[in-house]
Amino acid sequence: MHYTELDTPALIVDLDVVDKNIRDMQQACDDVGIGLRVHTKTHKTPEIAHMQVAGGAIGIVSQKLGEAEAMVAGGIANVLIPYNIVGKPKLERLGRLLNESDATITVAADSVTTVQGLSDQATKDGCTIRVIVEMDTGGHRVGAQSPQDTVALARLIDDLPGLEFCGVMTHPSWEKARDFITEVKDLADKGGLPLEIVSGGGTGSQEVAKSIGCNENRMGSYLYEGVTRIGGADQLHPSRCPARVAVTVVSTSAPGQMIVDAGRKSFSTDPPKPYGYCVEHPEIFIKGLSAEHGHIDTTQSSRTFKVGDVLSFIPNHGGMTTSLYDRMHAVRDGEVVDTWVVAGRGRAF
């Protein structure tokens, strides 16, 4: 069917744009000689993750254990969870995931408490947990606070039963991390701790990541582009932003505007306003969002819109919008060619 025949509001993704964005970012990483590890929190869909890996990505990043579970169930074989896994329920789930799948799964930690919990669970379950140390190179969110602390924690991981030390990570990839990473590498080398992974992060930072000593970079928002990647609602365009929400006009009663059947619960509320980009009629825009209604300004359009018209809008934040939907409709040339479950939706635990 054509996307205008879908029941709305509906999340759709243009596969031609997805293909281009995957190809372009992979080429950018290949050009500087750094591994691309793709964030699935952007699209939350195993089918797209498989496309990225087939395009050359070395593996995926799932920010939460629940999302990693969904991706492994969808057949993804190499997963980094760059998040402290804390507490009995999560540790038990991690143990089950490792014992019930053949996927290579690596987790991050930044404290003795977290590392000890991982070791205790691995010993209990009879498995080996791959661990990297997260470093705070200036972002002041999480991470070991110095190169010395980083290597001390790495040494503990290497010594504890059930754990395999695999490397280090930081976010973002920026110039100020250079000295920190250089010192960590020197200390690790002197201590006989090989760094399989030196992971940076941030879409578009692959050149900086390579220059400061990383061998992979974690990126995700390049897939959808959007305001979070390109800077402003006036930059949204169908040639670079594949995620859209199909909507139906439900009222034209007030002059100069129309109402569509998608509001905050369908688009998210990521500023700025005016919100989004109408693919079919760029001269109109979303001037406001209530819970279930989208308020569209039509004053700049010469067209007379009718109740029942179907339009599609590129949201400001494709990743946040995707998280609102159970299904995603894959489209080429306007035709729906597949429908995918957004398997990572709601998996923020």
Query: Which residue in 19, 13, 70, 39 sits closest to 229, CA to CA?
Result: 39
User: How is residue 348 written in tokens?
Assistant: 């923020």
- Virtual CA dihedral for 232, 237, 238, 240, nearest 10 degrees? -70
- Report d(CA 266, CA 324) in Å as an integer: 6
Q: Tell me the average pLDDT of the chain.
A: 95
pLDDT of 265 = 95
- pLDDT at residue 175 above 90? yes
Chain region(s) in the chain for CATH 3.20.20.10: 33-223
| Cβ neighbours around 26 below 10 Å, total | 17
pLDDT of 225 = 77
Residue count (the chain): 349
Chain region(s) in the chain for CATH 2.40.37.20: 3-11+228-341
The answer to whether the CB of 200 falls within 8 A of the CB of 156 is no
Q: What is the domain class of 33-223 according to CATH?
A: alpha beta
Q: CA of 200: how far to CAs of 11, 91, 213, 227, 229, in Å?
A: 31, 25, 9, 22, 17
Tokens 């900086």 correspond to 208
Q: Residue 137: what are its φ and ψ, rounded to 5°? A: -100, 25
- Report d(CA 108, CA 84) in Å as an integer: 6
User: How is residue 24 written in tokens?
Assistant: 């372009």
**What residues contact 192, with CB distance under 8 A and at least 6 apart?**
none
The answer to whether the CB of 210 falls within 8 A of the CB of 32 is yes
Range with lowest mean pLDDT among 31-35, 124-128, 140-144, 231-235: 231-235
pLDDT tier at 273 (50, 70, 90 boundaries)?
confident
pLDDT tier at 160 (50, 70, 90 boundaries)?
very high
DSSP state of 298: -
- Report d(CA 288, CA 285) in Å as an integer: 9
Tell me the mean pLDDT in the region 127-155.
97
Q: Specify the higher pLDDT residue, 264 or 236.
A: 264
H-type helices in the chain, by residue range? 15-32, 46-54, 65-73, 88-100, 112-125, 147-159, 178-190, 206-211, 227-230, 264-267, 318-322
CATH number for region 3-11+228-341: 2.40.37.20
Q: Residue 283: what are its φ and ψ, rounded to 5°? A: -75, -15
Q: Is 345 left (phi over 0), alpha (psi -120 to 50) or beta?
A: beta
The answer to whether the CB of 135 falls within 8 A of the CB of 154 is no
- Report d(CA 182, CA 230) in Å as an integer: 31
- pLDDT at residue 264 above 70? yes
pLDDT of 219 = 95
- Residue 310 sits at the vertex; the CA angle it makes with 309 and 311, to the nearest 5 degrees, is 120
